[in-house]
Amino acid sequence: MRALFVVVSLLLSVVAARAERVIPSGKPLILFNATSVNPDCTALGNVEVRVVQGPEHGRVSVSRTRVFPNYAAGNLRSTCNARRVPGVLVTYVSQRGYVGDDLVVIEVFFPNGRAQRATVAIRVV
């Protein structure tokens, strides 16, 4: 019974998101960026990203870099939006000359135990 509770809890902690993006063939597309910072904009910990399903007609890169966060105006961390903070950036690039649809699924794990799953449908033109 306890094992079932743990599995259900883990499934409920993953938030699903679906998005559609359009990009010219061969051009880079930012799929996702994430940070985890304290109110003083210092890193709270590392955000981990896993590519669950890679694209069939391109490649995805995950890099640790400094990114601009996007906290809501009422959030204590919203002052961090004006500066780059430690984070992770997920980028897609199609195969050269490819035109059509592609799909990427990623899972993002935050140091506070929150998880997010994002499915991104990509139309390459």
Q: Output the six-digit token pair for 120.
A: 């991104």
Residue range 13-34, pLDDT digits in tens: 334 455 589 999 999 999 999 9
Residue 116 has pLDDT above 50, yes or no: yes
pTM reported for the whole predicted model: 0.78
Residue 2 has pLDDT above 70, yes or no: no
Residue labelled with tokens 């890099």 = 63
Average pLDDT value over all residues in the chain = 87
* Average pLDDT over every residue of 80-88: 96
Domain 2-124 falls in which CATH fold?
Immunoglobulin-like (2.60.40)
Residue range 29-64, pLDDT digits in tens: 999 999 999 999 999 999 999 999 999 999 999 999
Note whether 97 and 25 are within 8 A (CB).
yes
pLDDT of residue 8: 34
